[in-house]
């Protein structure tokens, strides 16, 4: 088997057994990128020379008997918004021109664990939209159907993993930006609890909304990466308590029987899920019932997160715009968003954060229970509303048009950014259009371990299709 086809966990095991080297793993990844990225446009930068040097250094360390990390030799791609030393942190646009002097903390931890950074991946400017399209980077396409979007904003990371160019790519999620591309590209994507992963050198990511995490082809790979990158530094505005067990241990065994509530009702009124997504939720509910869980349809009584989400969105875009070197080089649409958000003062942001706490209290009643409705351990919903849209979504129109087109994509995801709950997009097979299906699992704040256990159980009971070859065949 080509090393590029292996999961991160399998690759680590093979290297540890002396059946492969970090250099061979990196070379397989670079060869796959060179062959498969044209026409998909997942990568903005490929760090081939640096990656080869780093892999050789890792192999030399291992040859001397030095203990290496849990990701030894694993090729990893990094979303454009995260600092990688020597690369310009573009945020998906042209606002910066000076390379970062040092790695962001997440990248530093990955390297310390033995991962090899092979490149950076595309995103829409500042991650504003659930479509990976930008003036500077062009259109990133879905590997399953290149006429469709891979979602966003971590669409480049998702496309890179779906095509086997890397087993792991780091993304970010401020309104669904890990889960939406995971759903569009047939991957596992867990948004962790707010504060689970450091945001250093930034004190926060879009205030209470954003967090960082991997997109992977397996649940175990996500658990492996989270055990490396989770934890905080003193400058993080938000933190999360340590879990009771490692994430990789959680992914290794089935959960005890759970109470699982399912619903296809949208948070945003007037948005209807695709028929295929309703069916995917219902079939997953049946699967989970067959696995011994107490599964029932419920009404989540969703609160409206608008007053909390919108100011933090505008505030996040404005803050990141103020930090770039060349404001005038930002996209016209971004500069329009900046002006539209001029009403978001520090006082407004603090009010939005307080509103978010009230939203979280109400939303989390789904886990504690409502009058006449018992609480659940996990909530099962669609991940996205429509099927993956044709590319070119952002080619016309301003921010109001882009927001209207984005609303059905984030209708089930953005609430959980406001509340800080962990939520995962889990593959659910293929639709008749040949594109992936997915469902979302939402857990209590701080309870990623239950989501990992349940997602891994689903993966074992219903293995999901993965792309193989260069033209979208599946296995």
Work out the average pLDDT over 457-462. Answer: 98
120 in catalytic set: no
pLDDT tens for each residue of 135-158: 999 999 999 999 999 999 999 999
**Angstrom distance (rounded) from CA 146 to CA 142:** 5
**Burial letters for 31-49: b for 16+ Cβ neighbours within 10 Å, e otherwise?**
ebbeebbeebbbbbbbbbe
Q: Map tokens 């033209």 to a residue.
A: 471
Position 472 scores a pLDDT of 44
Q: Is 423 helix (H, G, I), strand (E, B) or coil?
A: strand
Q: In terms of Cα–Cα distance, which of 31, 42, 38, 41 is closest to 4?
A: 31
Categorize the per-residue pLDDT at 473 as very low, low, confident or very high, splitting at 50, 70 and 90: very low
CATH of the structural domain 3-474, one choice from 3.90.1300.10, 3.40.50.300, 3.30.950.10, 3.90.1150.10: 3.90.1300.10
Work out the average pLDDT over 389-412. Answer: 96
pLDDT tens for each residue of 185-214: 999 999 999 999 999 999 999 999 999 999
Dihedral (Cα; 200, 203, 208, 211), 10-degree rounding: -10
Percent of the chain with pLDDT over 70: 99
Catalytic residue among 29, 154, 177, 406: 177
**Angstrom distance (rounded) from CA 196 to CA 211:** 8
Categorize the per-residue pLDDT at 432 as very low, low, confident or very high, splitting at 50, 70 and 90: very high
Categorize the per-residue pLDDT at 427 as very low, low, confident or very high, splitting at 50, 70 and 90: very high
Work out the average pLDDT over 336-365. Answer: 98
**Angstrom distance (rounded) from CA 360 to CA 302:** 10
pLDDT tens for each residue of 63-106: 998 888 999 999 999 999 999 999 999 999 999 999 999 999 99
Q: Which two tokens stand for residue 154?
A: 């971590």
Q: Is 352 helix (H, G, I), strand (E, B) or coil?
A: helix
177 in catalytic set: yes
Are 183 and 163 spatial neighbours (Cβ–Cβ below 8 Å)?
no
Other C-beta atoms lying within 10 Å of the C-beta of residue 434: 11
Catalytic residue among 79, 154, 157, 263: 79
Work out the average pLDDT over 347-373. Answer: 97
């Amino acid at each position: 088997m080509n090393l590029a086809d292996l999961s991160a966990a399998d690759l680590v095991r093979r290297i540890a057994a002396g059946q492969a080297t970090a250099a061979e793993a990196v070379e397989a990844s670079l060869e796959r990128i060179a062959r498969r990225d044209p026409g998909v446009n997942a990568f903005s930068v490929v760090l081939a020379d640096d990656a080869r040097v780093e892999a050789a250094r890792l192999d030399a360390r291992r040859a001397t008997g030095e203990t290496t990390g849990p990701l030894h030799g694993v090729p990893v791609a990094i979303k454009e918004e995260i600092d990688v030393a020597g690369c310009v942190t573009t945020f998906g646009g042209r606002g910066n021109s000076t390379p970062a002097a040092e790695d962001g903390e997440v990248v530093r931890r990955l390297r310390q664990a033995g991962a090899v950074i092979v490149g950076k991946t595309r995103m829409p400017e500042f991650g504003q939209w659930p479509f990976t399209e930008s003036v500077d980077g062009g259109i990133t396409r879905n590997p399953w159907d290149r006429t469709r979007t891979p979602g966003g904003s971590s669409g480049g990371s998702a496309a890179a993993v779906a095509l086997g160019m890397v087993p792991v790519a780091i993304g970010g999620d401020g309104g669904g930006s890990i889960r939406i591309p995971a759903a569009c590209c047939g991957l596992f994507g867990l948004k962790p609890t707010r504060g689970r992963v450091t945001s250093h050198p930034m004190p926060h990511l879009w205030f209470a909304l954003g967090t960082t995490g991997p997109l992977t082809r397996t649940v175990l790979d996500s658990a492996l990466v989270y055990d490396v990158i989770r934890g905080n530094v003193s400058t993080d505005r938000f933190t999360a308590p340590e879990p009771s067990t490692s994430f990789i241990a959680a992914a290794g065994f089935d959960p005890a029987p759970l109470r699982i509530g399912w619903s296809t009702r949208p948070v945003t009124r007037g948005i209807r899920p695709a028929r295929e997504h309703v069916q995917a939720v219902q079939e997953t509910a049946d699967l989970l019932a067959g696995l011994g869980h107490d599964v029932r349809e419920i009404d989540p009584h969703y609160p409206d997160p608008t007053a909390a989400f919108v100011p933090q969105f505008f505030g996040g875009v404005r803050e990141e715009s103020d930090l770039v070197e060349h404001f005038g080089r930002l996209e016209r649409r971004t500069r329009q968003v900046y002006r539209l958000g001029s009403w978001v003062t520090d006082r407004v942001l603090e009010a939005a954060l307080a509103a978010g706490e009230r939203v979280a209290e109400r939303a989390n009643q789904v886990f504690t229970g409502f009058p006449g409705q018992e609480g659940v351990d996990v909530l099962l919903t669609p991940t996205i509303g429509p099927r993956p849209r044709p590319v070119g979504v952002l080619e016309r129109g301003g921010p109001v048009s882009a927001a209207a087109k984005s609303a059905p994509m984030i209708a089930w995801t953005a609430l959980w950014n406001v509340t800080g709950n962990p939520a995962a997009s889990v593959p659910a097979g293929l639709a008749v259009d040949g594109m992936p299906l997915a469902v979302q699992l939402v857990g209590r704040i701080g309870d990623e371990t239950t989501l990992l256990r349940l997602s891994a159980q689903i993966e074992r009971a219903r293995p999901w299709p993965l792309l193989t070859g260069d033209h979208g065949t599946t296995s």
